[in-house]
Structure 1
Amino acid sequence: MELTPAVEPSVGASPRPRRLSRSVVAGLAWAALSVAIFSGWFVVTRFSVTRELGISDIMVLRFGIGGLLLAPMLLWPGRRLPPKAWLEGLVFALLWGMPFVLLVALGLTLTSAAQAASVAPTTMPIFAGLLGWLFLRERQGWARWLGYVAIIVGLAFLIVAGTAAHGAPNPWGIAALLLAAAMWAVYTLLFRRSGLTSIQSAALICVWSALLFVPAYGLLGLSHLGMASAGEVAFQAIYQGILMSVVAVITFNRAVSLLGPSAATAIIALVPAVATLLAIPVLGEWPAPAEAAAIVAIVAGVLLAAKPVRAAEASPTSSKRKEDP
C-alpha cells in the first residue's frame, strides 16, 4: 500500500491539522515488531554460536524450518507463482537469505552482540538512502540526510567507546556486518518494486535458502546439534525457524510496503539500543556510559531518518506527472 499524497488546501481555506495516516501508523507498528525480533536475534544467536552450536546449525534451523512452514504458500493449488517470481525470490534469497545470515553470524562470532547490532542495522538505512538517491532518484529531504549523519556519528562513537571498554573489534567482523547491511538495503529497494506480497517474499527466501544449504549441511557433516542441550535446540528452532524466518520477514516487508524502504530501514536502526539492553541480562555484556550516549545519538538519527518525505519531494517525477495532461 502506497502513502496517499496529502491534498493541498484551496486558497483561503483554513489548513487542516496534519495527522498520521492509518498506513503510517500500521507501518510503524509492523516496524516496531520487527525491531523487537531482530534485536533478540543478535543476542540469542551470539549466545549459541559462541557455545555449542555453529553458524551452520543456526542457518539450517532458520531456513530448514522456515522453508517447511512456508513452502505450502508457494505450492498450494491456485497460489503457484510464475517463473519470474521464483527468479526474483532467488535474488532475494541471495540478498537476505543464506549469505546474509552467514555474514551476520560471522560478525557476531568475531565481535560482540552490541557491536554487531550497532553496525548492521544502523548502516542499512544509510545504504538504502544512498542507493535510492543514486539509482532510483529518490529525494530524501534534509531531515533524513541529517538523520543519516547522526547515525554515522553515533555509530563511530559507539565503536570507539566499545574499543576503550572491551578492546578493538575484529576488522573482518565489521566488514562482514557492513556487507550484510548493504545486501539488506538492496533487498528492501528491490522488494517494494517486485509486486510480491510479504508472505510470498518470506516463503521464497526460506525455500531457496533451504534448497541451497540443507543438502550441503547434511552431506558435509556440519551438524553440531547433538552437542547442545535439547532445550537450547528447541529454543533456537522456534526463534530462528519461526520468529526470524517467518514473522520477522513478514513484519519487515509490511513496514517497507507502508512506510517505504528508507523510513522502514531507518526504524530498524533502533535495533542496537534494544539489543544492547537485552545483552545485559542474557550475555552479561554491560555498555560503558559513552556507549549509552552514542546509542542515544543513533536513536535521534533514526527519528530524523524515519521522517516521511512529502509526496511532492518523494520523487522528481511526481511533479512532472502532475503537469502531464
Structure 2
Amino acid sequence: MSPRTQGYALVAVTMCIWGGFTITSRLNAQWHISAWDITALRFALAFCILMPVLIWKKDTAFLWKKEPFILAMVGGVGYCLTSYSAFHFVPAAHAAIFLNGCIPLCTALAGFFLFREPFDKHTWVSLVIMLSAISAMCFLMYEETGVAFGFGDLLFFISAIWWGVFTVLLRQWKLSAWHSMAGVAIWSALVYIPVYLLFLPKNLTQPEPMHLLVQGVFHGIFVVIIATLTYVEAIKRLGAFKTGSIVTLAPFIAAVLAVPLLNEPLSIAIICGLLGMGVGALQPWRWFGRKDSLQVKLEQQKKN
C-alpha cells in the first residue's frame, strides 16, 4: 500500500471509532450507565493496559512532567465528564453540532487567548457560518419546542472548549502521540479513580454486565488507544487539514444514523444546524487547489 492509501485506511478506522463514540455514548443513557461510571471504566481499563507497557519499556520518566498531567485534566477528566453527561440530556445530533462542530472554533479561540495566535481568513469565514447556523437552529428550536438552548447543549459546548484547549496545548508542547495518549490515560486514572471510588455515586449494578463490558472495551481501548494512534499516523501521511476534515464527518454521519438506530428525532432545526456546522468545520472551499503534506514532500524530494 502506498503512504496515501495507508493514510485513507487509517482515516477510515478513526472515523468508525469516532462515529461509534457518538452512538455508544448516547446508548449509555438508554443502558443506564452514568457519566461517572463510564469515565471510570474508560480510564481504569486503559491504565491496566498502558502502565505495564510503559514499565516494560522503561518509559515512565515523561509522566513526572507537568505537561501530561495538565493534558489529562483538560482533555481527559474534564472532557469526558462533560461530554458523557451531555448525552443524557440531548440526542446524538446535538453532539455533532455543539461538540464536534464547535471544536475547530474553540481551538482557534484557545490559540488566540493562550498564545495570541491570530485568526486566518478561513477561521473568520467558518466563524460567520457557524454562528449563523447556531442562531438559525436555536430560533427554529424555540419555534418548535419553546426551548432554544438546553443544558446538554451547554455541556457539549464546554466539552468543545476543553478539547480546543487540549489541542492547542498539545500542539504547543509537541509531545509524541504515544506519550500524549499514555500520559492522558494514566494521569486521568490516577486522579479520577480514587475520587470516584471515595466520593462519587456509583451505579454499576443496574446496567447489564454485557453492556458494561462493551462500553468499557470500546471507550477504554478503541477510543483512548487505537483511535489516537490511527489519527496521528493518518496526519503523517495525509496532512493535518485533510485528515481533520475527513474525520470531522464521522460524528455528523453518526448523528444521521442515530435516527433509525436509536429512534431519535431529526427536525428542521437539527438539519439546519448539522449542515451549517458541517460546512463551517470542514471548510470545503479550502480543498480546491490545496496540496496535502505528502504531495508537497514528494515534490520537494524530486527537486532535491
Please give the range of the TM-score, normalised by the shorter of the 2 chains. 0.7 to 0.9
Aligned counterpart, 1:119: 98
After superposition, the Cα gap between the structure-2 partners of 1:216 and 1:278, relative to the gap in structure 1 and judged at 3 Å, is same
Match of 2:299 in 1: none
Instruction: Say which of 209, 214, 217 aligns to 1:235.
Output: 214
Q: Could you say which residue in structure 2 is the equivalent of 1:53?
A: 33
Name the residue aligned to 1:68: 48
Could you list the runs of 5+ residues in structure 2 that have no partner in the other structure? 291-304
Q: Please tell me whether the aligned partners of residues 56 and 223 of structure 1 are also in contact (alpha carbons under 8 angstroms).
A: yes
Task: Assess if the C-alpha contact under 8 Å between 2:140 and 2:269 holds in 1.
Answer: yes
Q: Deviations over 1:153-189 (max 9, x none)?
A: 2233334444545562664333322222111111111
What residue identity is the alignment partner of 2:29? V
Secondary structure of 2:87's counterpart equals helix
- Residue of structure 2 equivalent to 1:318: none
Runs of 5+ consecutive residues of structure 1 not aligned to the other structure: 1-21, 312-325
CA contact (8 A) 1:162 1:168 kept: yes
Contact kept? 1:267, 1:306, Cα under 8 Å: no
Aligned residues: 288
So what's the TM-score if we normalise by structure 1? 0.75
Secondary structure of the residue aligned to 2:186 is: helix
Deviation, 1:209, is: 0.9
1:190 aligns with 2:150: no
Paired residues for 1:1-325 under 5 Å: 30=10, 33-82=13-62, 86-133=65-112, 135-136=114-115, 138=117, 140-165=119-144, 168=147, 171-220=150-199, 222-254=201-233, 259-260=239-240, 269-304=248-283, 307=286
Counterparts of 1:217 and 1:208 in 2: how far apart (Å)? Answer: 14
2:19–2:251 CA contact under 8 A, matched in 1: yes
State the alpha-carbon separation in 1 of the partners of residues 20 and 63 from structure 2: 35
* Two-structure CA RMSD over aligned residues (Å): 3.3
Are the structure 2 counterparts of residues 191 and 100 from structure 1 closer, same or farther at C-alpha, using a change threshold of 3 Å?
A: same
Range with greater deviation from structure 2 (135-144 or 170-179) = 135-144
Deviation at 1:266, TM superposition (A): 5.7
Amino acid across the alignment from 2:36: S
- Give identity over the alignment, percent: 24
Separation of aligned partners in 1, 2:215 and 2:136 = 32
The alpha-carbon deviation at position 63 of structure 1 amounts to 0.7
User: Whose Rg is larger?
Assistant: 1
In the other structure, the counterpart of 1:5 is none
Shift in Å at residue 263 of structure 1? 7.0
Which region of structure 1 is more displaced relative to structure 2, 190-199 or 207-216? 190-199
Distance change in 2, residues 1:29/1:141 (3 Å): farther
Task: Give, in angstroms, the shift of residue 288 of structure 1.
Answer: 1.8
Task: State the TM-score, normalizing by the size of structure 2.
Answer: 0.79
Describe the superposition over 1:239-293 as per-residue Cα deviations: whole angstroms up to 9, x where unpaired: 2111222123333444666744x77666554354223112113321131244324
